[in-house]
A and B are shown apart, each in its own frame.
Chain A
Amino acid sequence: MLQEQTMLLRTMHGWAPAPMLATFALFASLPFWIKGVGLYPYLGVEVMIWIIYALGFNLLLGYGGLPSFGHGAFFGVGAYAFGLAQLQLSPNLWLCLAAAVFAGGLAGALVAAFISHRRGIYYALLTIAFGQIFWFVAIKWHSVTRGEDGLLNIKRPAFLDDLNSLYWFCFAVFVVVVVLLWRLVNAPFGRVLSAIRQNETRARFVGYHVWLYKWLAFVLSALIAGLAGGLFALAQQSAYPNVMSLHQSGFVVMMALVGGGLVSFWGPVIGAVLFFIARDLLGAYTEAWLLWYGLLFMAIVLFRPEGLAGIFNVRSKPAA
């Protein structure tokens, strides 16, 4: 009996640990109370999209130890791919989302091929440089991207036309991505990736192809950013270069670090939620809300490098 219970708990932990259930409960109930606290349901859509983006980003930063500071590029590529697929190919939602994922992954595969043998500051600088290239192309390649205005006439399919169905569609994608990512970081690939972060030399000497793991982690992360970008284009009904700026790429880094992505899978969730609360609640009082979020970021980096999840001591990485 006791054994059955432990087995059940283990399975629960493997597929749906408590923080995951809490996250799902938060977003499943959000449409029913969000107006009561003076906010609006679309905020939930935005937050879920950014959580997807930030969790994918943290696969690279928190698990792989690979700092990518130009990740907005892949989010943006996903958004443009979604829009272009809809405008040029077919209005089919699944095809457009697949195009977003594929384009994000492809761009990631290319960039990762150039940087996966680098480490530390060189790696970080190269990601910034590549991020800037994508951003620049998005602004300058007017015939395809419509320049600084972006693609403005992206449509939602009829069944997602009202906000309510859009919300539940995003929620469904969100649930699938979170469950799969949690599974991924606890599967051999995630555990080996984390081992490489802890000791690259040793990983080589027990026979791992370190470069390939780093490359693949980048591709997966870019592919998830692409998916988030596609959802963003769907939600915003537009795709524009701003999301690819260095500035916006910095947001996802802050979300991952403030929340505690280095010590917990759930860090980026906390970070993204806080970010949007700061934007909408502080933003109502002061235009300088980002200053306060930035100060929080600095305080955390200085005093609690392990982030908020570290403060609360959320032990949601499997007991290592």
Chain B
Amino acid sequence: MFEANRLHKRFGQHVVLEDVSLRFEAGRLSGIMGPNGAGKTTCFNLLTGRYAPDRGKVTFEGRDITGLPPRAIARLGISRSFQVMNLFDDYSAQDNVRVAMPATRARGFSMLGSFGGESDVLARVGLAGKENVKAKSLSYGDRRALEIGVALAAQPRLLFLDEPTAGLGMEATARIAGLIAELKRTITIVMIEHDMKFLFGLADHIYVMHWGQVIAQGSPAQLRANPWVQRSNLGQLG
């Protein structure tokens, strides 16, 4: 469904990604893991159009999308959430979702029409009853859920989630895990995650990145046997 072929990216002298190739199959949840600075988020930024790769090719459903701007990629049905939260802070949870809906985008230049639209996204991410709370007044965990909600409101066929549990405690993490398990049934998902237990529990296929390269990949079962994964995470995987 989505393929990145031999991506390279450098910022100045600093090589951030080197010869990275990834394949995300439809209907599956793929994971990307690795230590801080491994190039995971840069990778997302290349795949979703924030930066263009220096070399390499990105295709979505057979179509070359290398170097397209974020809005063009978004319009193809690819949506993303952010590690550092990116919400419309002065808007209510409901209006955050409304802005992101393709129906609103289609009428974006309407100057006299009314702004509205109904969506079940807030209920799906567990924010029912908080429709009218401003994004900036929500709790941290609720903001994390809304971060995913805004990405979902765009009705993606492919959803990129950048560390959806960053900064969350166990309970809140479990809530997001339940949500993602539910989403997985209908949407193809690619997820960057630090929390390995979380990732291994959800993913069908995982890429391990280090120093800007893919150093291992496979199913969770295959990766459990991988020496690098074992060395860095024995305790956490239990």
Contact = CB atoms under 8 A, between A and B. Distances in A.
B105 to A, nearest CB: 5
Given A187-B113, A195-B99, A202-B150, A207 B71 contact: yes
Interface string B91-108: 110010011101011011
A209 B105 CA distance: 10
A254 B71 CA distance: 35
Interface string B122-155: 0000000000101000000000000000100110
Contacts of B100: 206
A320 B92 contact: yes
Contact of B132 (A14, A190, A198, A319): A319
Given A195-B99, A205-B48, 18 more contacts: A184-B111, A184-B112, A187-B115, A188-B109, A189-B108, A189-B111, A192-B108, A194-B90, A195-B91, A202-B86, A204-B71, A205-B70, A206-B154, A207-B74, A209-B71, A213-B108, A216-B109, A320-B91
Interface in B32-83: 48, 50, 69-71, 74-75, 79-80, 82
Contact of B99 (A204, A206, A319): A206
A318 B104 CA distance: 17
B104 A188 contact: yes
8 nearest A-B pairs in the assembled complex, by CB-CB distance: A207-B74, A202-B86, A206-B100, A204-B70, A198-B88, A191-B115, A195-B99, A188-B110
A199 interface: yes
B89 interface: yes
Contact of A207 (B75, B90, B112, B132): B75
Contacts of A186: 114-115
A198 B89 contact: yes
| Chain B binding surface SS class | loop
A205 B115 CA distance: 20
B221 to A, nearest CB: 34
Nearest to A184: B111
Given A191-B99, A195-B91, A206 B114 contact: no
Contacts of A165: none
B87 interface: yes
Nearest to A193: B108
A191 B112 CA distance: 11
Given A207-B102, A319-B92, A188 B150 contact: no
A204 B107 CA distance: 16
Contact of A205 (B80, B107, B108): B80
Contacts of B132: 319
A115 to B, nearest CB: 19
A208 B109 contact: no
A313 interface: no
Contacts of B153: 206
Interface of B: 48, 50, 69-71, 74-75, 79-80, 82, 86-92, 95, 98-100, 102, 104-105, 107-115, 132, 134, 150, 153-154
What is the size category of the interface that chain A forms with chain B?
20 to 34
A202 B74 CA distance: 11
A201 interface: yes
**Which of B80, B88, B92, B107 gathers most chain A CB within 10 Å?**
B88
A315 to B, nearest CB: 12
B91 A183 contact: no
Given A188-B104, A189-B110, A319-B132, A199 B70 contact: no
Contacts of A183: 111-112
Nearest to A319: B132
Contact of B86 (A184, A199, A208, A320): A199
A14 B114 contact: yes
Nearest to B77: A207
A83 to B, nearest CB: 29
Given A187-B112, A205-B80, A319-B132, A198 B91 contact: yes
Nearest to A201: B86
B111 A187 contact: yes
Interface in A303-320: 319-320
Contacts of B102: 207
A10 to B, nearest CB: 10
